[in-house]
Structure 1
Amino acid sequence: MLAAELQAAGGRTAALLAVFAQTDRPLRARGVCEAMGLEPAPNNINDVRLKLKRLTGRNILAEPEPGLFALRP
């Protein structure tokens, strides 16, 4: 299932994880927004960044450097 389809189904967290599953490099919040088909407006970027920080706190994502996120190995 594509990230846009997951998001439409109400699973923004699942859509975020799908974006990371499809790439092998760390991404910034803006890049995640673009991959999800969201307009890279400040409110969308901040919402995504907040979700990414929460997933980092849950040890699902890693933040190798400030603002750069990747799936934990």
Structure 2
Amino acid sequence: MTGLDGQEPGTWLLDKIDAREQALTRQIEQPQAEIDTFTARLRELEEAAEHLRITRKTLLSLADEVEADAEPVTPPVMLPGHSAYRQILDIFAALGRPLRARDLCEALDLPIAPKNTEKIRAKLKRLVNQGILVEIEHGLFAQPRP
């Protein structure tokens, strides 16, 4: 018995199966190529996300280091040897406002005389030079704000 094209029935059927298999193989190749492309793209995106995680971790670590370094280390205040400097700072702390040399003379119960105000002004200027006080305007002194 022969098939439609004169071949044996088994051969004709095998040819049909071969043709169908080749068609399916061609159909498989296109989605497989897309899968390969998507897989490669997925790897790239995962790698980029991992780099961002590493960058974030590094930046947070550096920020912690900067914060730790940024904590001000205030050296102890080294006052000049005379006790008047401690008294002046105690008055600033007690009154909590800017003062002039004349105000300090009054607070220290010194007579308001040019020699006393000049001595106090010189001490105030020395404290300004050491960074312990600030002169917010000419002749007006205050403790620096934290």
- What TM-score results when the alignment is normalised by the length of structure 1? 0.83
Task: Please tell me whether Structure 1 or Structure 2 has the larger radius of gyration of its CA atoms.
Answer: 2
Q: CA deviation at 1:25?
A: 1.4
Q: Distance in 1 between matches of 2:115 and 2:127?
A: 19
For structure 2, which runs of at least 5 residues remain unmatched after alignment?
Answer: 1-81
**Counterpart check, 1:26 vs 2:98:** yes
Root-mean-square deviation (CA), in Å? 0.9
Q: Deviations over 1:11-31 (max 9, x none)?
A: 111111111011121110000
Q: Report % sequence identity.
A: 47
**Number of equivalent positions:** 64
- What TM-score results when the alignment is normalised by the length of structure 2? 0.43
Matched letter for residue 93 of structure 2: A
Off by >4 Å, runs of 4+ in structure 1 = none
Matched letter for residue 49 of structure 1: R
Of structures 1 and 2, the one scoring higher in RCO (CA 8 A, sep 6+) is 1
Q: Which residue of 1 aligns with 2:128?
A: 56
- In terms of fraction of residues, the more helix-rich structure is 2
- In terms of fraction of residues, the more strand-rich structure is 1
**Counterpart check, 1:16 vs 2:105:** no
Q: Which residue of 1 aligns with 2:113?
A: 41
For structure 1, which runs of at least 5 residues remain unmatched after alignment?
Answer: 1-9
